[in-house]
Amino acid sequence: MSEDARFGLSRTVTLPGPLRLDGGVLLSPVDIAYETYGTLAPDGGNAILVCHALTGDHHLASNHPRTGKPGWWTRMVGPSKPIDTDKYLVICANVLGSCLGSSGPATINPATGKPWAMAFPVITIRDMVRAQAMLLDHLGIARLFAVVGGSMGGMQALSWAATFPERVAAAVVIASAARHSAQNIAFHEVGRQAIMADHRWRGGDYYHDSDPPASGLAVARMAAHITYLSEAGLTAKFGRRLQARDAKTFGFDADFQVESYLRHQGLSFVDRFDANSYLYITRALDYFDLAEEHGGTLANAFRGDTRFCLVSFDTDWLYPTSESRTIVHALNAAGAPASFVELSSPFGHDAFLLESPELDRVIGGFLQNGTPR
Amino acid sequence: MSEDARFGLSRTVTLPGPLRLDGGVLLSPVDIAYETYGTLAPDGGNAILVCHALTGDHHLASNHPRTGKPGWWTRMVGPSKPIDTDKYLVICANVLGSCLGSSGPATINPATGKPWAMAFPVITIRDMVRAQAMLLDHLGIARLFAVVGGSMGGMQALSWAATFPERVAAAVVIASAARHSAQNIAFHEVGRQAIMADHRWRGGDYYHDSDPPASGLAVARMAAHITYLSEAGLTAKFGRRLQARDAKTFGFDADFQVESYLRHQGLSFVDRFDANSYLYITRALDYFDLAEEHGGTLANAFRGDTRFCLVSFDTDWLYPTSESRTIVHALNAAGAPASFVELSSPFGHDAFLLESPELDRVIGGFLQNGTPR
């Protein structure tokens, strides 16, 4: 493990598998792109797995090798940060189904020598977690000091505790939910239909030329992006302010700043994300229902001795506080140790990625309390 | 006016105009499709104009001539109904920019002999109201006993009172707002981009063949439809229930009932609505800001002696109660008589179109109180 001690070591491992998926398919091989930060303690007891959100990647706290941009959670992860890489070995892996290094529709199907495209098997959040468990086996990490994630990352943290309770001492679940609501599914279905409506999608077979369904993917991203922000946040940031020319054009250009902003969100997204991966990962999210996986009773998902920390944000309407409360009630019913805090933020769901000293304190404190050393 | 006395008389008038639009263009001629119900009183004082919402039409209370379906507000309008066609002459006109009989992008541009398409001038809510005023002139109606509308219809009612205060005795504004918020604009921009991303949109020039941008329009409708329903309403109606086969397919068919429902909403919409009209009317909504039209102070919009009735629904997150309160505060500041009630409903924005005895009572009572006879 000595190599992993370097800060932000990025690599991809190809594991032979097979990985048995919830859909019944055996996937083999399984590529997993991941980064590690810090050093594994001699007793192996200081590993923290951070799980990323829908469109995230494993470049957690180091600069992105291609864009040069800082990792997506540098605020939280690093030396003397709340997830302190001087104390913990921190691991972040690109999720199964994604397009940023791990196996997904854009990777090669060994049976054909061509990209899987829509022949890639439909995956679940639990399948993502199983792939991560294979990675930990490969890294020789038997048990996690903690698994930490926001949004879809929080669902993976929940699924880790439910699927491998003996391997998770603590789980931090931020701005997340134990299931996707009808409204969540509806927004994702809009995104999927936008992608499939793009004539360049071609049933997912678009990898052979450089003409992906970028317009549809941009629309999908725009719709989703609205759900990441609060109405109050949008009003504060943009309101009805017009673009620089400061007059309505009586046309269909982006007159309002919020239009221009959304268009930019859509356009910049298609440069970094694969449309088919967007289909697969939104499907995994929609399928997620931890209670259903446990006989319809959420408390049954929590039978280990994992301790939990839950955080929600008061303006998050994608995964509102009520969803976290549902989890807390189930944890209480299961007798699992759980702390819960609703933080105040104007930024809606996106708050978990933004500057938040309170969130830093909550996570830092929770991890600190579990540190036996 | 004797002909108009028949119930649900539907016709289209071509007015020479010109109609001076907010964008500076003179539109001529102006087609207006409308229906009337009831009989104009000898003193002309019993006319009620009902204004429809984004995708509505003038088939208010009679069966649609093509589909045979009941009018969209038969619940509210008819003999002995809250808007009582035995007492009032009720008028409903298809809005300017629409595709259901009134002038819009699908109608013929007299300069070219071809459909206007995107050469149709961008219009505003106030332009819709001006066209309606031309219709009333044509019908010989000097002053409205009331103007009534929900959603975009409520905006027209507000704009009527602000633009022609001497012609409006009373205004009923249901589930509406005095301006479009940043989030409202954002959702509309998603819809517009979905339409424009459809390769069959072709810059709006798709009228010559039978291949309109149906996929893009369906996606636009799906995204908008989510905003018409509450999260709780979606959960109650669909939750995470699967389709009849009652098992996940691990594929991309509509596994969940909510997906199937949304897809149906999108697909059925494209049969009855024109994509370019959707662009134009959403633009008119986004441009709507009654305060801005009156020096930045909403109270300045209300200088007549119109009396107002405002109704909001507690689960409406498209035009939430706070938007109605903003209007009420402005009316109070202007010294205008105003009543306001927030009704409780699980159905979100759509509640104004659904069975609601409370809404019936509020509207019936408000109109009754104004009846001098």
Tell me whether residues A24 and B222 touch, CB distance under 8 A.
no
Other Cβ atoms closer than 10 A to B109 = 14
Contacts of residue B168, defined as CB under 8 A and 6 or more positions apart, other chains included, come to B143, B144, B146, B147, B160, B161, B304, B306
Alpha carbon distance B155, B293 (integer Å): 13
The residue in chain A having the minimum alpha-carbon distance to the alpha carbon of residue B122 is A250
pLDDT exceeds cutoff 60 at A1: no
Contacts of B250 in chain A (CB under 8 A): 22-24, 121-122
Binding residue per annotation — A361?
Answer: no
Are A313 and A345 contacting, i.e. CB atoms less than 8 angstroms apart? yes
Report residue B61 CA to chain centroid gap.
Answer: 15
Whether cis (ω within 30° of 0) applies to the bond prior to A337 is: no
A350 labeled binding residue: yes
| pLDDT at A4 exceeding the cut of 80 | no
Distance CA B157, CA B163 (A): 10
B216 contacts on A by Cβ (under 8 Å): 197
For B38-53, write each residue's pLDDT tens digit: 999 999 999 999 999 9
pLDDT attached to residue B7: 62
CB contact (8 A) between residue B252 and residue A197: no
Residue in A closest to B182 by C-alpha: A239
- CATH for the B184-282 domain, from 3.40.47.10, 3.40.50.720, 3.30.365.10, 1.10.1740.110: 1.10.1740.110
**Looking at residue B371, what is its pLDDT?**
62
- Token representation of residue A253: 């250009």
DSSP3 helix / strand / coil % (chain B, rounded to 5): 40, 20, 45
In this prediction, residues A192-207 reach a mean pLDDT of 97
Compare all CA atoms of chain A with the CA of B255 and give the residue at the minimum distance: A287
pLDDT digits (tens, 9 = 90+) for A224-255: 999 999 999 999 999 999 987 778 999 999 99
Measured CA to CA in angstroms, residue A5 lies from A2, A42, A138, B31, B297 at distances of 5, 12, 16, 74, 62
Whether residue A234 and residue B181 make contact (CB cut-off 8 A), yes or no, is: yes
- Residue B335 neighbours by CB under 8 Å, 6+ apart: none
Q: Catalytic annotation on B316? A: yes
Distance CA A70, CA A29 (A): 30
Which two structure tokens, joined as six digits, stand for A78?
């690093």
CA distance B131 to B137: 10
| Residue whose entry in the numeric block shows the structure tokens 């933020």 | A345
Tokens (6 digits) for B166 = 């001497």
Determine the distance in angstroms separating the CA of A264 from the nearest CA of chain B, rounded to an integer.
Answer: 12
Classified as helix, coil or strand, A115 is strand
| Tens digit of each residue's pLDDT (9 = 90 or more) over B128-138 | 999 999 999 99
Q: Is the pLDDT of residue A370 over 90?
A: no
Q: Which two tokens stand for residue A47?
A: 């590993």
Ordered per-residue pLDDT tens for chain B, 373 residues: 333 334 678 899 999 989 999 999 999 999 999 999 999 999 999 999 999 999 999 999 999 888 889 999 999 999 999 999 999 999 999 999 999 999 999 999 999 999 999 999 999 999 999 999 999 999 999 999 999 999 999 999 999 999 999 999 999 999 999 999 999 999 999 999 999 999 999 999 999 999 999 999 999 999 999 999 999 999 999 999 998 777 899 999 999 999 999 999 999 999 999 999 999 999 999 999 999 999 999 999 999 999 999 999 999 999 999 999 999 999 999 999 999 999 999 999 999 999 999 999 999 999 998 764 4
B258 closest CB neighbour out of A118, A182, A237: A182
Topology agreement, domain B2-180+290-370 and domain B184-282: no
> d(Cα A257, Cα A239) in Å, to the nearest integer?
8
Instruction: Quote the pLDDT of residue A371.
Output: 62
Q: Please write the tens of the pLDDT for every residue from A138-183.
A: 999 999 999 999 999 999 999 999 999 999 999 999 999 999 999 9
Rounded CA-CA distance A102/A104 in Å is: 6
pLDDT at B31: 98
Mark A291-311 as b/e (b = at least 16 C-beta within 10 Å). bbbbeeebbbbbebebbbbbb
Options B98, B102, B103, B151, the catalytic residue:
B151
Q: Which of B359, B344, B373 is nearest to B82 (CA)?
A: B359
Residues of A identified as active-site: 151, 316, 349
Tell me which DSSP letter residue B70 carries.
P
| Residue A27 near residue A119, CB atoms below 8 Å | no
Greater confidence, A342 or A368? A342
Domain ranges of chain A: 2-180+290-370, 184-282
- Tell me if B181 and A235 make a contact (CB, 8 A cut-off): yes
Q: Which residues of A are less than 8 Å from B183 in CB distance?
A: 226, 229, 231, 234-235
Say which residue, A67 or A71, is predicted with more confidence: A71
Residues B250, A223: C-beta atoms closer than 8 Å: no
Coil vs helix vs strand at B150: strand
Q: Of A182, A198, A287, which is closest to B197 when you measure between CB atoms?
A: A198
CB–CB contact A252 B180 (8 Å): no
Tell me the longest C-alpha to C-alpha distance in chain A: 67
Contact of B185 with A256, CB cutoff 8 Å = yes
Q: Give bridge partners of residue A338 from the DSSP assignment.
A: A308
State the nearest Cα–Cα gap between B266 and chain A, in angstroms: 10
**Is CATH 3.40.50.2300 what the domain over B2-180+290-370 is classified as, yes or no?**
no
Computed over its alpha carbons, how large is the radius of gyration of chain A?
20
Q: Give the gap in angstroms from C-alpha B342 to the nearest C-alpha of chain A.
A: 20
**Quick one: which H or E segment has residue A171?**
strand A170-174
Smallest Cβ distance to B182: which of A189, A192, A234? Answer: A234
pLDDT at residue A67, as a whole number: 84
Query: How many CB pairs below 8 A link A and B?
Result: 153
Residue A324, classed as helix, strand or coil, is: helix
Q: Which of B21, B26, B124, B193 should one mutate to test binding to chain A, selecting the residue with the greatest count of A CBs within 10 A? A: B193
Residue numbers in B near A187 (CB within 8 A): 226
8-state DSSP, B11: E
DSSP state of A178: S
Exposure string of B152-189, with b = 16+ CB inside 10 Å and e = fewer, is bbbbbbbbbbbbbbebbbbbbbbbbbbbbbbbbbbbbb
